Amino acid sequence: MSMDIFLQHLLNGISVGSLYALIAIGYTMVYGILLLINFAHGDIFMMASYFMIFAVVDFGLPVWISLPMIIVLTVILGMLLERSAYKPLRNAPRMSIMISAIGASYLLENLAVYLFSGVPKGYPDIPWLTKVINVGTISFQTVTVIAPVLVIVILGALMALVNHTRTGMAMRAVSKDFETARLMGVRIDRVIAVTFAIGSGLAAVGSVLWGAKYSSVYPLMGVMPGLKCFVAAVFGGIGNIPGAVLGGIVLGLGETLLVAFFPGLTGYRDAFAFVVLIVMLLVRPNGLLGEKEADKV
Amino acid sequence: MRSENILEISGLSVSYGGIRAVKEISFGVPKGKVVTLIGANGAGKSSTLRAIVGLEKPAGGSILFNGVELSGLSTDAIVEKGITLVPEGRRVFPNLSVLENLKIGAYMRKDDLTADIAWVYGLFPRLKERSWQKAGTLSGGEQQMLAIGRALMSKPAVIMMDEPSLGLAPIIVQGVFDIIREINRQGVTILLVEQNANMALKAADLACVMETGTITMRGSGAELLENDEIRAAYLGKARK
């Protein structure tokens, strides 16, 4: 394999990984606070794609209006999901809320089939994301460069939020101890709502970048990215935000290079993520950046 | 001696799925005093405190704080009124620094915290030395100091403490009780739940003895310390 082809794959892998990272952050933040795997997260991502199609194709809105609008809509959807499927189970055993999450996931998928039909639709073309740039013999879409840069900016902003703001402090407190956080006067329902809002907003951003790379939108499109990004979150250490980004990028890069080096394994592209998951759970169950719980009594 | 009760509990009951942990108890906490509830494990002491601060829903009765009914309010609304609980087992946030733990204690306050942080660090110089350390790395005694300091940061009128001496070495326990007296001297009313009856009664102006969800005896701390039954049951001393 020549150097420029390798670079091409490398670039591709990083950009796919950046998309995974955006979605994985949503998993990891919700898990960090509620100890819940939000199985519906991938479907929120799918809904965001449909929102974009409606805004741009059906309502003919320009992209610069549609973009903030679908982010807001997706945030509202995510908060609505939390309100209706998770909040009523706040004091229920963890298994109940997990089953509720699975139910919510299927509900969204089937709702999408019912409302939008199962026939794939094309994601609207956003020229400044899909424009092809040639550098020497390498060619790539602008989204390939925008995605990782955006992820780094978002990661920085999130770390500042979590570590240096009042809300972030409350998030960290709630993630360890609901009851004591309540005693401090923290309105934990608000903190949880904010967490879902952030996760859903990032899923919406992810869906826009995703649409520029893979333009097919269908009701089950969130399933595989959802699962893979969950793997990415676990791989990086679930509950850990930089871990989710790292996990996403490693996963994206890994599967892209696997296929590049071993074209015969193309069919196993998706399997790669799950092999990684199994190996990680066996070798280092807390993930790359996850810390071991050292509860002192 | 009559003084105004800042906290007035009447007919309070707490149930856990049909089991009555607290059965229609009534007592008052006079402003500026130290009141203690003593009793064995499972007597309903913690449940009483948890009900007052809204962590358990009372099955009946009323909780008046400065004449305002607390029962039915959410925990954050209750804490905002100026009553706080130092929970059993300290429960500091291990992933937050010592300073952040103090700051989150003042989560509802919007004013400047500098003076109060200095005040708490004045009470607990050890915490100041460890300001940037994660609370999870502190010793048990230091965590208890932090839990008390964190509660003080909300500037409560009443501070409730659930077993502050639990699991601490005797010398540290002495320090905790010294601090309790000092906080009280500075004007904070204290409602203390303890199994360490000896220390609690010595510190308390008023005491109630709880057994299986009811108050079986009450009096001043000094009276109960001299009481034969109390001496035999809780202080491990022979009857006179």
Average pLDDT in the B72-96 region? 94
Identify the CA nearest to A32 among candidates A155, A139, A168, A140: A168
Residue numbers in B near A173 (CB within 8 A): 93, 96, 104
Calpha distance B98→A133 (Å, rounded): 51
- Closest in B87, B93, B105 to A176, CB measured: B93
User: Which of A230-244, B134-148, B219-233 bottoms out in mean pLDDT, i.e. has the lowest?
Assistant: B219-233
Query: Which one of A174, A183, A187 would you mutate to disrupt binding with B, by most B Cβ within 10 Å of its Cβ?
Result: A183
- Closest in B75, B93, B103 to A182, CB measured: B75
- Put simply, the answer to whether B76 touches A187 (Cβ < 8 Å) is yes
Query: Which one of A163, A180, A240 would you mutate to disrupt binding with B, by most B Cβ within 10 Å of its Cβ?
Result: A180
Cα–Cα separations (whole angstroms), residue B85 to A44, B91, B108: 40, 11, 15
Chain-wide mean pLDDT for chain B?
Answer: 92
- Closest in A183, A294, A297 to B87, CB measured: A183
- Closest in A173, A294, A295 to B104, CB measured: A173
Identify the CA nearest to B53 among candidates B92, B84, B22: B84
| Confidence check: pLDDT of A179 > 50 | yes
Contact between A229 and A43 under an 8 Å Cβ cutoff? The reply is no
Residue numbers in B near A183 (CB within 8 A): 53, 55, 75, 79, 84-85, 87
Residue A106 makes CB contacts below 8 A (sequence gap 6+) with none
Residue numbers in A near B93 (CB within 8 A): 172-173, 176-177, 180-181
Q: pLDDT grade, residue A154 (50/70/90)? A: very high
Q: What is the pLDDT of residues A112-147, one digit of tens each?
A: 999 999 999 999 999 999 999 998 888 899 999 999
Domain ranges of chain B: 5-233
Q: What is the pLDDT of residues B11-24, one digit of tens each?
A: 999 999 888 999 99
Residue numbers in B near A174 (CB within 8 A): none
Residue B38 makes CB contacts below 8 A (sequence gap 6+) with B45, B193, B194, B195, B197, B200, B201, B207, B208, B209, B210, B224, B234
Which CATH number applies to B5-233? 3.40.50.300
Q: Is A167 on the interface with B (CB under 8 A)?
A: no
Q: What percentage of residues in chain B have a pLDDT greater than 70? A: 97
CA distance B237 to chain A (A): 31
Query: Which one of B95, B139, B153, B158 would you mutate to disrupt binding with A, by most A Cβ within 10 Å of its Cβ?
Result: B95
Q: pLDDT grade, residue A296 (50/70/90)? A: very low
CA distance A180 to chain B (A): 7
- What is the pLDDT at residue B231? 83
Torsion sign, CA atoms B165, B169, B174, B175: negative
Identify the CA nearest to B189 among candidates B200, B204, B175: B204
Residue A90 makes CB contacts below 8 A (sequence gap 6+) with A189
CA distance A176 to chain B (A): 7
Q: Is A293 on the interface with B (CB under 8 A)?
A: no
Residue B110 makes CB contacts below 8 A (sequence gap 6+) with none
Closest CA in chain A for residue B99: A169
- What is the pLDDT at residue A293? 57
- What is the pLDDT at residue B48? 95
- Put simply, the answer to whether B108 touches A173 (Cβ < 8 Å) is no
Cα of A221 vs its chain's centroid, Å: 13
Q: What is the pLDDT of residues A156-173, one digit of tens each?
A: 999 999 999 999 999 999
The count of CB pairs under 8 A between chains A and B is 61
Chain-wide mean pLDDT for chain A?
Answer: 93
Report which DSSP code applies to B205: S
Average pLDDT in the A40-60 region? 96
Those of residues 186-215 in A touching chain B at CB distance below 8 A are 186-187
ipTM of the complex: 0.91
Q: Is B191 helix (H, G, I), strand (E, B) or coil?
A: strand
Residue with tokens 């660090």: B121
Angle at which helix A188-213 crosses helix A63-81, to 10 degrees, equals: 140
- What is the pLDDT at residue A266? 87
Q: b or e along A138-165 (b: 16 or more beta carbons within 10 Å of the residue's beta carbon)?
A: bebbbbbebbbebbeebbeebeeebeee
- Put simply, the answer to whether B107 touches A166 (Cβ < 8 Å) is yes
- What is the pLDDT at residue A237? 92
Q: Is A163 on the interface with B (CB under 8 A)?
A: no
- What is the pLDDT at residue B1? 41
Residue numbers in A near B134 (CB within 8 A): none
- Put simply, the answer to whether B85 touches A183 (Cβ < 8 Å) is yes
Domains of chain A (ranges; CATH) run 3-283 (1.10.3470)
Q: pLDDT grade, residue B154 (50/70/90)? A: very high
Q: What is the pLDDT of residues A272-293, one digit of tens each?
A: 899 999 999 999 989 988 876 5
| Confidence check: pLDDT of B102 > 70 | yes
